[in-house]
Structure 1
Amino acid sequence: MENTNKLTSSLKAVFKGNTMIFVLVGVMLLFEVLIGIKTEGVASLFAPANITNIIRQNAYVVILATGMLLCILTGGNIDLSVGSVVALVGALAGVFIVNLGMPIWLAICLCLIIGTLIGAFHGFFIAFVHIPPFITTLAGMLLWRGVATIVLDGKPIAPFPQKYLNLFESFLPNAGELTEANELEVFGEIVDKHVLIITMIITLICVIAYIAMEIVSRQKKIRNGYTVSSKSSFIAKIALLSVVIVLLGQFLARDRGLPVILILLGVIIAAYGYFTQNTVPGRYLYAIGGNEKAARLSGVNTNKVMFFAYTNMGFISAVAALVTIARLNSAQPTAGQNYEMDAIASCFIGGASAYGGTGTVSGAVVGAIFMGVLNNGMSILGVDMNWQRAVKGLVLLLAVLFDVMSKKKKSGK
């Protein structure tokens, strides 16, 4: 009986700590049923090629959400300019790489520096002049969109060199021509044997690395006297996420292999996850969001922290711009429209508080994937774009409502 109670409490803890993952899986299964009914089994949300497309099409959302989270942590602040910055940096990349024939790595470095300077421009007015972030970034949204249109003269720049596209749009390993020698049938599909084996090996290495990092992190918390979850909850959580990684890996292995963009996303997620959870400057973001006055009295330079958050948002926007123009193979004056809304919604859906001080990078990533699945599933079902916007707006409202109600419940109001 005691073991049963422990198991029940462990499962409840795992569900509570990974609610959005279970919701995401539930939504994906619902879409799979609806798509199967509508297309009579012809199309599938879980088709390997479709899973790859979801990753590639929503990479910019994941990238922007990691940066947006840092702004939200400081007190529910947001950056409305990110879509316009994506358009401007993309336009400059087109001019540098296509029009001027500049070396690709030099052009990339210049674009990242320009994006960072734009973020610093916003951060200066927000942190030191104390203009509200909403007003500052709203002005930036209008300003940088106008500059992007001027740079492009209202016309797109295309195509980009294949060397540049390979940096973001290629796959590992590089699949050769499918022949009888490397053919393999998996779940009724003919796949490349070499791609399947190498991708699954990389997937298993990622699982082992994830488990090792979680164990090391848990041991470090125990040594420092922090409260940790029970051993059974910890094992259940690791098992759940390991299964998710393996399932994702086999979908990619059955298509074209590991998208290079997924490696970039992994690096960004790991770096920002470590920064926010394991560094002093990262914890300052949470401190300011929790109580800015108390953080200032404790010796935290709140102005510098705010300046960093928005400078970093400019850098992240530049990264998203480089990814976006590679996916579109063109720099367009209309690029980046509504990107800020997708990033903001991803953070709130992923558990970030509208008041700041609460949220994780992993939660923002799950929120971004959730938004991507919504877009993809409704598109396959042929749902009108206006209805898609309405559904996403409703989902965002429900996510923030849940946060507000949770806050009231904890405070007893």
Structure 2
Amino acid sequence: SVVCFVGTIGAVLMRSDLNMWLAVLIMLVVGLLIGAWQAFWIAYVKVPPFITTLSGMMVFRGLSNVVLQGKTVSVTNEKFVQLFGGGANCYVPDIFHGEGINLLCVIVGVIACALYLFFTLRSRAVRKRNDLEVESLTKTIIKAVIIVAVVMFFTLRLAQYKGIPMALLWVAVVVLIYTYITSKTTVGRYLYAIGGNETATKLSGIDTRKIYFFAYTNMGLLAGLAGILTIARMTSAQPTYGQNYEMDAIGSCFIGGASAYGGVGTVPGVIIGALLMGVINIGMSIMGVDANYQKVVKGLVLLAAVIFDVVSKKKNS
């Protein structure tokens, strides 16, 4: 619903010929304020997160309908559409002008794989030097080979088409930023600590309210960015946009390795889960599966992921 509301605000602003960058800034600020609004009730008033976000879902879905009055508002700003991943020309230009293949896409894919291998081996070496537990070299190599093979396969497929989609570029930027925050910063460590044991985190002297506020405010900001990408891809705003996004997001988290008990999971893992959910959605659409049966399948996939998490947790205990 926040995705829909932010997209609605942006479409209405650009329809009134407001400067594109100002409209984008307003959309991000609106998302940030919505996140802060929900974060306040959760972090400081101690309203259960489920109730807070559920009420927010109804509030902002209703406001979207009020603003749009049940109508569709077209997004006609071509620069906005191209920059944020909508329309036919929403690809990063090939500065190398390759013939038959997008050389920029290939180079970016190769560099990404090289960086992944470098940081994987470097991280393993650092952990081993500090006498920390590391997985076997064979397992590390097998995992690296599989990931590199998958990345290069999709890189070549994209290069043979039109190259790197702008939406993929924005997703990559977000993934890199939040991977760094969660794995290399103090705030990221606090997030894992609260997820693992909130009481112990409090007793350690950490202000958990500030961490909760930070987390939910960031969720609002990301929902704002998702709203921008959605109306750019669809080139319009409708009151129905964003429906069932929350279920896909929850499913992606659990499939990607997050735990119902908290304190576990990574940003890249969630992205892999999102890709799998996307494959399921697109695959069923191509097969012509009825929309109602698609919901049944996704519900069962989500249930299976949670059951696996619960059973694994009990077995480890």
Q: What TM-score results when the alignment is normalised by the length of structure 2?
A: 0.94
Name which of 224, 243, 261 aligns with 1:337.
Answer: 243
Q: How does 1:11-410 map to 2 (within 5 A)?
A: 84-99=1-16, 101-169=17-85, 170-173=90-93, 193=99, 195-410=101-316
CA shift for structure 1 position 337: 0.8
Using the aligned pairs only, state the percent identity.
49
Deviations 1:220-263 (A, max 9, x none): 43444432222232222222211111101011011111111111
Gaps of 5+ in 1: 1-83, 176-181, 183-191
Asked if 1 retains the 8 angstrom alpha-carbon contact of 2:29 and 2:221, the reply is yes
Asked if 2 retains the 8 angstrom alpha-carbon contact of 1:352 and 1:360, the reply is yes
Task: Look up the match of 1:76.
Answer: none
CA shift for structure 1 position 174: 5.5
Cα 1:93/1:232, change in 2 over 3 Å: same
Moved more, 158-167 or 215-224: 215-224
Asked if 2 retains the 8 angstrom alpha-carbon contact of 1:207 and 1:245, the reply is yes
Moved more, 161-170 or 312-321: 161-170
Whole-Å Cα distance in 1 between the matches of residues 124 and 176 of structure 2? Answer: 16
Deviations 1:314-352 (A, max 9, x none): 000000000000111001111111111111111011111
CA shift for structure 1 position 196: 3.3
Q: Helix, strand or coil for the counterpart of 1:370?
A: helix
Asked if 2 retains the 8 angstrom alpha-carbon contact of 1:156 and 1:332, the reply is yes
Asked if 2 retains the 8 angstrom alpha-carbon contact of 1:165 and 1:329, the reply is yes
Asked if 2 retains the 8 angstrom alpha-carbon contact of 1:118 and 1:311, the reply is yes
Asked if 2 retains the 8 angstrom alpha-carbon contact of 1:158 and 1:329, the reply is yes
Q: Helix, strand or coil for the counterpart of 2:175?
A: helix
Deviations 1:106-158 (A, max 9, x none): 11111101100100000000000000001111111111111111122221211
Whole-Å Cα distance in 1 between the matches of residues 165 and 28 of structure 2? Answer: 22
Cα 1:405/1:113, change in 2 over 3 Å: same
Q: Helix, strand or coil for the counterpart of 1:233?
A: helix
Question: For residue 173 of structure 1, what is the amino acid of its counterpart?
Answer: P
Question: For residue 242 of structure 2, what is the amino acid of its counterpart?
Answer: G
Question: For residue 201 of structure 2, what is the amino acid of its counterpart?
Answer: A
Whole-Å Cα distance in 1 between the matches of residues 100 and 122 of structure 2? Answer: 33
Q: Helix, strand or coil for the counterpart of 2:237?
A: coil
Whole-Å Cα distance in 1 between the matches of residues 64 and 293 of structure 2? Answer: 30
Q: Helix, strand or coil for the counterpart of 1:171?
A: coil
Whole-Å Cα distance in 1 between the matches of residues 130 and 201 of structure 2? Answer: 22
Question: For residue 171 of structure 1, what is the amino acid of its counterpart?
Answer: Y
Asked if 1 retains the 8 angstrom alpha-carbon contact of 2:193 and 2:201, the reply is yes
Whole-Å Cα distance in 2 between the matches of residues 393 and 132 of structure 1? Answer: 24
Q: Name the Cα RMSD after superposition.
A: 1.7
Gaps of 5+ in 2: none
Whole-Å Cα distance in 2 between the matches of residues 263 and 341 of structure 1? Answer: 24
CA shift for structure 1 position 194: 5.1
Cα 1:233/1:328, change in 2 over 3 Å: same
Whole-Å Cα distance in 1 between the matches of residues 116 and 94 of structure 2? Answer: 25
Asked if 2 retains the 8 angstrom alpha-carbon contact of 1:173 and 1:195, the reply is no
Question: For residue 312 of structure 2, what is the amino acid of its counterpart?
Answer: S
Cα 1:86/1:124, change in 2 over 3 Å: same
CA shift for structure 1 position 215: 2.9
Question: For residue 95 of structure 1, what is the amino acid of its counterpart?
Answer: V
Which structure has more RCO (C-alpha within 8 Å, separation ≥ 6)? 1
Aligned length: 312
Whole-Å Cα distance in 2 between the matches of residues 343 and 205 of structure 1? Answer: 29
Deviations 1:277-320 (A, max 9, x none): 22111111111111111110011111111111111110000000
